[in-house]
Amino acid sequence: MNNLNNIDEILAKSELNFDDMLTLINLTKQSDLEKLYSAAYATKTKYVGKKAYYRGLIEFSNICVKDCYYCGIRKSSAQERYSMAKDEILAMAMWAYKNNYGSVTIQSGERQDAAYCEFVADIISEINQATNGNLAMTICLGEQSEEVYQKWFDNGATRYLLRMETTNPSLYKKIHPNTPLHSFDNRKNCLLTLRKIGYQIGTGVMIGLPEQTPEDMVNDILFFKENDVDMIGMGPYVVHKDTPMGQTADDSTFAQVARFNFGLKMIAITRLLLKDVNIAATTALQALHPLGRELGLQAGANILMPIITLQEYRHKYQLYDNKPCIDDTPEHCKSCLTNRVESVGDKVGFAEKGDPPHFLKRLVA
Ligand code: 5AD
């Protein structure tokens, strides 16, 4: 069935259907994979250009109220906790601004208490003022009330990344504790609320979770399309040994390679279907392969998230084992990544916010 002609025919289509995507996600032969990635790279070139944009990643606290079974900073983990001071966070954002990063991503463990929400609101307005609104901020702080989302938006945040983790509700239940804090429906509603407020919205999933099927992955991509998202941040599941999932998940080289390849195939198929959105080549790809992010760019991604978290905190924000760059400085990450981007023939969009054409089209529509 998966003969070359069939794959050529699928890749020549302007709109893929479920079966086409299922064929593509199941490809394993290197020559087929190369066809898939070069088709996705051509789509990226046509719709968003051969440019990679940086979102400097600020991981300002690992305190988390959630207990997700896969995550290294889950509430029950023995990880020592930290929370940065306002001036440290502002200094990192200014570093990004002065180094011509068009945007930063502000991430932490999840909290909903009022003091935290106020703290974040202040950070957002201080960064906005200090950069005259010229540094785009992506907020990646989980599920919040509509009022909080609105306040952060009013203070100057324009983009929100809320990964669904998986779009299959029954798989979602298996990878989270069964409590109201970990509700699939609430997470999905949050995404809809963010859209209503006017954020550029991003979502994503983990790829290669135990019990996740290729059909689930295709449905994830269809979910991105149906919910008209502007950006995608997704990456392979990477085992963290001190978590309930990490203790039982297959972490053989074979399993790691399969997850990595599914990660690249997901990027490529998402690019082919959604075309003009932003797609990140995430750090998790590099945790499984030294050239993970370059290969992500070649498979159709156009966003990189260099970690700019101060070095002293990096080893405490380990969502998974072997997280790369934890011994690096922001300066090192910048030059290392820029070389990586140029090695695949792309350019870095320095000093540009890098809004996805998909979002800009909606603004004028
Ligand atoms: N492997 C890969 N990604 C993970 N995340 C959390 N734990 C892991 C893991 N073990 C991702 C989740 C979360 C993001 C901040 O990190 O998708 O949304």
172 Cβ closer than 6 Å to some ligand 1 atom: no
Q: Residue 115: is it exposed, middle or buried by C-beta count within 10 angstroms (0-12/13-18/19+)?
A: exposed
In angstroms, how far is the first alpha carbon of the chain from the final one? 41
Tokens representing 110? 């999840």
Q: Locate the ligand 1 atom nearest the alpha carbon of residue 240 and give its number.
A: 10
Minimum CA distance residue for ligand 1 atom 2: 237
Q: Give the residue from 213, 195, 189, 111 showing the smallest Cα distance to 153.
A: 195
How far is residue 162's CA from residue 224's CA, in Å, rounded to a whole number?
12
Helix, strand, coil distribution of the chain in percent, nearest 5: 50, 15, 40
> Distance from the CA of 1 to the center of ligand 1, in angstroms?
35
**Per residue of the chain (365 residues), what is the pLDDT tens digit?**
445 569 999 999 999 999 999 999 999 999 999 999 999 999 999 999 999 999 999 999 999 999 999 999 999 999 999 999 999 999 999 999 999 999 999 999 999 999 999 999 999 999 999 999 999 999 999 999 999 999 999 999 999 999 999 999 999 999 999 999 999 999 999 999 999 999 999 999 999 999 999 999 999 999 999 999 999 999 999 999 999 999 999 999 999 999 999 999 999 999 999 999 999 999 999 999 999 999 999 999 999 999 999 989 999 999 999 888 888 888 888 888 899 999 999 999 999 999 999 999 988 87
Q: In sequence order, what are the residues at sequence separation of 6 or more whose Cβ sits closer than 8 angstroms to the Cβ of residue 12?
A: none
57 Cβ closer than 6 Å to some ligand 1 atom: no
249 Cβ closer than 6 Å to some ligand 1 atom: no
Minimum CA distance residue for ligand 1 atom 7: 71
Q: Locate the ligand 1 atom nearest the alpha carbon of residue 70 and give its number.
A: 10
- The 8 Å CB, 24+ separation contacts for 133-137 are 134/97, 135/93, 135/96, 135/97, 135/101, 135/102, 135/103, 135/104, 136/102, 136/103, 136/104, 136/353, 136/354, 136/355, 137/103, 137/104, 137/105, 137/106
Minimum CA distance residue for ligand 1 atom 18: 163
Q: Locate the ligand 1 atom nearest the alpha carbon of residue 206 and give its number.
A: 17
Q: Locate the ligand 1 atom nearest the alpha carbon of residue 163 and give its number.
A: 18
240 Cβ closer than 6 Å to some ligand 1 atom: yes
Q: Locate the ligand 1 atom nearest the alpha carbon of residue 319 and give its number.
A: 7
The residue to mutate among 107, 164, 206, having the most atoms of ligand 1 within 8 angstroms of its beta carbon, is 206
Rg for the chain, CA atoms, rounded: 19
* 3-state secondary structure at position 223: helix
In this prediction, residue 3 carries a pLDDT of 54
The reported pTM is 0.96
DSSP 30-76: HHHHHHHHHHHHHHHHHHT-SEEEEEEEEEEE---S---TT-TT-TT
DSSP 132-184: TT-SEEEEE-----HHHHHHHHHTT--EEE---B-S-HHHHHHHS-SSGGG-H
β-pair type (278-279, 347-348): unpaired
> Distance from the CA of 129 to the center of ligand 1, in angstroms?
31
